[in-house]
């Protein structure tokens, strides 16, 4: 089974061709990603209109490159998959419309993929992980703990009630005048800082649910930074280190509760899986390793190129769905919001629409 995958939900324009073999094993034949970081850097964050226009300009060439690198023709494709949401709606429309055009011209099945499902199924692309397992998805737009029970079977165990984790890192970087993208800059500054200098709050610590909250912590950093102005380089490092330490402690606590909730409903997870750009943070990786060890399960983190947005994860999710006969019509709609767990509800105090993805 050969599937072309297209990803345009935020600021990566990506396409890939993945082969799903008869035994369920996977082979990535191509995975082309064009980041728009430079285009958005001077604005300190992603500008939706700029992102959508860039997708329009770039996508045809990237799809052609992915097909050429894979060495396949459109007539050989078993399906074409595109991320149909959730995400910035302008970008989603570009990718889904392109996929529909390819599907129509070449009489190929279309699969409209939930971007979150693609993240959830990535470990089955990299190491053929069996169900059920627990996913921790942390990025600029998402912070969720999800029980991955099967293809199309997901139960959200926890989410953020306000900012996503990657978004909080980026906002802290911006308030401290660190370059964009902010997450790696905060991690780099934290390496030279004192994590005990500032007693920042550990939001939601000890609560019986597995939800996150990061806006209060972000505000505490802003207040302390304002009190210290003008900031010296060591102040910035200490603020970043103290902020990151608070995130690590809160994340460990929330995941411990999430894994307990998982075990109560589904038994011991086959693994704890981390995905999303925040999974590239080395301190967070170390904290996740400790959580997994205490829960007596394995930590799996896909390679960085497959943690962040990419076409291979979309192609693989399409292949997984195609194997079960799950395809879509050309009327499949683009969605700005699309819950992975259809039964999930926004937690009390929910303030950030992105958290409801």
pLDDT in tens, 81-93: 999 999 999 999 9
Residue 149 phi, psi (nearest 5) = -95, -30
Residue 181 has a pLDDT of: 86
pTM of whole model > 0.85?
A: yes
352: pLDDT strictly greater than 80:
no
DSSP 212: B
216: pLDDT strictly greater than 50:
yes
Contact predicate 3/315, CB 8 Å? yes
What are the beta bridge partners of residue 194? none
CA 164 vs. chain centroid, Å, equals 10
Structure-block tokens of residue 293 = 């060890």
Task: Please list, residue by residue across 95-122, b when 16 or more beta carbons sit within 10 angstroms of its beta carbon and e when fewer do.
Answer: bbbbbbebbeeeebbbbbbbbbbbbbbb
Give the residue extent of every domain in the chain: 2-127+307-337, 133-300
Q: Write down the architecture of domain 133-300 according to CATH.
A: 2-Layer Sandwich (3.30)
Spatial distance between the Cα atoms of 138 and 275, rounded to a whole number of angstroms: 6
Task: Find the DSSP H helices in 128-232.
Answer: 165-175, 182-190, 215-228
Instruction: For residue 303, count CB atoms less than 10 angstroms from its CB and return exposed for 0-12, middle for 13-18, buried for 19 or more.
Output: exposed
Helix (H, G, I), strand (E, B) or coil at 260: helix
What's the CATH number for 2-127+307-337? 3.30.420.40
Spatial distance between the Cα atoms of 264 and 268, rounded to a whole number of angstroms: 8
Spatial distance between the Cα atoms of 264 and 11, rounded to a whole number of angstroms: 38
Q: Give pLDDT tens digits for 102-132.
A: 999 999 999 999 999 999 999 999 998 999 9
138: pLDDT strictly greater than 80:
yes
Structure-block tokens of residue 251 = 């994340």
CA 209 vs. chain centroid, Å, equals 22
Spatial distance between the Cα atoms of 96 and 144, rounded to a whole number of angstroms: 25
Count how many Cα atoms sit within 13 Å of the Cα of residue 69 in the half-sphere of its side chain.
Answer: 17
Q: Which residue has the higher pLDDT, 351 or 314?
A: 314
Residue 346 has a pLDDT of: 54
- ∠8-14-18 over CA atoms, to 5°? 120
343: pLDDT strictly greater than 80:
no
Work out whether strand 272-275 and strand 299-300 pair parallel, antiparallel, or are unpaired. Answer: parallel
Residue 127 phi, psi (nearest 5) = -145, 20
Residue 354 has a pLDDT of: 38
Spatial distance between the Cα atoms of 284 and 289, rounded to a whole number of angstroms: 9
Q: Give pLDDT tens digits for 220-276.
A: 999 999 999 999 999 999 999 999 999 999 999 999 999 999 999 999 999 999 998
Q: Give pLDDT tens digits for 151-198.
A: 999 999 999 999 999 999 999 999 999 998 899 999 999 999 999 999
Among the listed residues 201, 195, 158, 218, the one whose alpha carbon sits nearest the alpha carbon of residue 345: 158
Are domains 2-127+307-337 and 133-300 of this chain identical in fold? yes
Spatial distance between the Cα atoms of 175 and 193, rounded to a whole number of angstroms: 17
Q: Give pLDDT tens digits for 6-47.
A: 999 999 999 999 999 988 899 999 999 999 888 888 888 889
> Which strand ranges, in their side-by-side order, compose the sheet holding 153-159?
153-159, 143-150, 133-138, 272-275, 299-300
209: pLDDT strictly greater than 70:
yes
Residue 289 has a pLDDT of: 95
Spatial distance between the Cα atoms of 321 and 151, rounded to a whole number of angstroms: 7
Residue 356 has a pLDDT of: 37
Residue 34 has a pLDDT of: 96
């Amino acid at each position: 089974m050969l599937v072309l995958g297209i990803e345009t939900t935020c600021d990566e324009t990506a396409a890939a061709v993945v082969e799903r073999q008869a035994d369920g094993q996977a082979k990535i034949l191509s995975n082309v990603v064009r980041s728009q970081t430079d285009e958005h850097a001077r604005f300190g964050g992603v500008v939706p209109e700029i992102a959508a226009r860039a997708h329009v300009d770039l996508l045809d060439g990237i799809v052609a490159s992915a097909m050429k690198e894979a060495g396949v023709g459109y007539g050989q494709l078993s399906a074409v998959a595109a991320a149909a949401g959730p995400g910035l709606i302008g970008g989603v429309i570009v990718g889904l419309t392109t996929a529909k055009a390819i599907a129509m011209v070449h009489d190929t099945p279309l699969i409209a993929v939930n971007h979150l499902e693609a993240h959830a199924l990535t470990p089955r692309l990299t190491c053929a992980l069996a169900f059920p397992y627990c996913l921790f998805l942390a990025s600029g737009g998402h912070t969720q703990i999800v029980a991955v029970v099967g293809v199309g079977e997901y139960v959200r165990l926890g989410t953020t009630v306000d900012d996503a984790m990657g978004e909080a890192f980026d906002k802290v970087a911006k308030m401290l005048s660190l370059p964009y993208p902010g997450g790696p800059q905060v991690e780099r500054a934290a390496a030279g800082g004192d994590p005990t200098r500032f007693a920042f709050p550990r939001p939601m610590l000890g609560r019986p649910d597995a939800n996150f909250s990061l806006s209060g912590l972000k505000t505490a950093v802003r207040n302390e930074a304002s009190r210290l102005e003008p900031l010296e380089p060591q102040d910035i490092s200490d603020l970043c280190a103290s902020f990151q330490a608070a995130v690590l402690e809160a994340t460990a606590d929330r995941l411990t509760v999430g894994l307990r909730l998982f075990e109560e409903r589904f038994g011991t997870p086959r693994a704890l899986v981390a995905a999303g750009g925040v999974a590239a943070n080395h301190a967070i990786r170390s904290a996740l390793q400790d959580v997994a060890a205490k829960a007596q399960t394995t930590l799996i983190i896909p390679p960085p190129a497959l943690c962040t947005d990419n076409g291979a994860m979309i192609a693989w999710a399409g292949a997984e769905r195609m194997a079960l006969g799950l395809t879509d019509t050309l009327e499949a709609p683009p969605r700005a919001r699309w819950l992975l767990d259809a039964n999930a509800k926004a937690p009390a105090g929910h303030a950030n629409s992105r958290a409801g993805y």
